[in-house]
Every structure is written in C-alpha cells, then in structure tokens.
Amino acid sequence: MRRRIEGFIALTALLVLVAGCDNQGNRNAVANANANANANATVATTPVVNTNTNTRQAPTRAETEREKDRYSREARESGRTVGTGANDLWLWVKTRFDLAAADDLRDSTINVDVDNDVVTLTGTVASAAQRSRAETVAKAVEGVKSVRNQLKVGSANANANANARPANANR
C-alpha cells in the first residue's frame, strides 16, 4: 500500500511538473505574442517627433502666395532681386529655405536672387565643397531652370563683418 501511495504521489508530481512546463511555454508564447503586438501597435501609432529645434517646415506655395507682400518686402529690404515671373517669389523663398536647412551650409553667407526661374547665388562660403553643395541644393528646387553660382570661397565671417551684417542675414 505504501508503494502505491508513493507511486501515486510521484505520478501526481510528474503530471504537475509536465503541466507546469506546458503552461509556462504557453505563457511565454502568449507573452511574446502580446509583446510583439504591442511593439507593432506602438510603431504604427506613435507619431514621429522631430526633436531638432533648429529646423522648421518649408512654407508651401500657397503659404508663399498668402504672404506674398511680406516676402516681397523682405527681399527688397535685404537688397535681393526677385523677378516678376510667375514662380520667382516661390523659388526665392524655397531656395533660401533649402539652403538654410542644409547643415553643411549654415555658417555661410549665401544671397539668393531669382529672375525668370533662374537662381543666382552670391556671397561667401568657406570651401569649394560648400560652393558646390549650395549649387546642388539650389538646382534641386523644383521649378528652377538653372543656377548661376557666383559664390566666393573665403571666410564667411570676414564677408559678414565687411558688410556690417551678421552671417545668414540674407537667408
């Protein structure tokens, strides 16, 4: 009789152990499935937040049209030329914005003039690579027919001091 009781206890312990292992496996599978579902849901529903405070969104063409007088006044006051072509003001705003947004051009003094969809870049950049980069950025603006790159390679700060303006004054 004692052997039967020991056998029964051993069999019960074995069944509990097997059942516990099986439940643990199920619990892990359920936990993994839940974690994956949560991770996927989080990725799908979490908005992308730009933490870089130095960037802002480019104005749209419609916003440029609404602010036409302000942008025209800004161009005149900074001594820039914006032609009377249908796209000239938009190209002036967009090109200036894209140049200002280019990290590798931030320490440059780049002036933008636009006439009949032709962008003219003047001012000073620190290197030949920046001169080339500025031209590439301007050419990438949709609607620009061509770019006249008249940028000088030299010290942007020396140019700003010579003109008694801070760097990026015309951007």
Beta bridge partners of 115: 118
Handedness of CA 159, 162, 165, 170 (dihedral sign): negative
Using CA atoms, how far apart are residues 159 and 170, in angstroms rounded to an integer?
Answer: 12
- Coil, strand or helix at 106: coil
Specify the pLDDT at position 5.
82
Residue 112: count of CB within 10 angstroms of its CB:
28
What is the per-residue pLDDT across 23-81, written as a single tens digit (0 to 9) for each? 444 555 655 555 555 444 433 333 333 334 445 677 887 888 888 888 888 888 888 88
- Coil, strand or helix at 115: strand
Specify the pLDDT at position 45.
34
Using CA atoms, how far apart are residues 121 and 111, in angstroms rounded to an integer?
Answer: 6
38 or 141: which leads in pLDDT: 141
Q: Is the pTM of this model over 0.75?
A: no
Specify the pLDDT at position 62.
85
Using CA atoms, how far apart are residues 147 and 99, in angstroms rounded to an integer?
Answer: 13
Specify the pLDDT at position 106.
77
Using CA atoms, how far apart are residues 142 and 60, in angstroms rounded to an integer?
Answer: 12
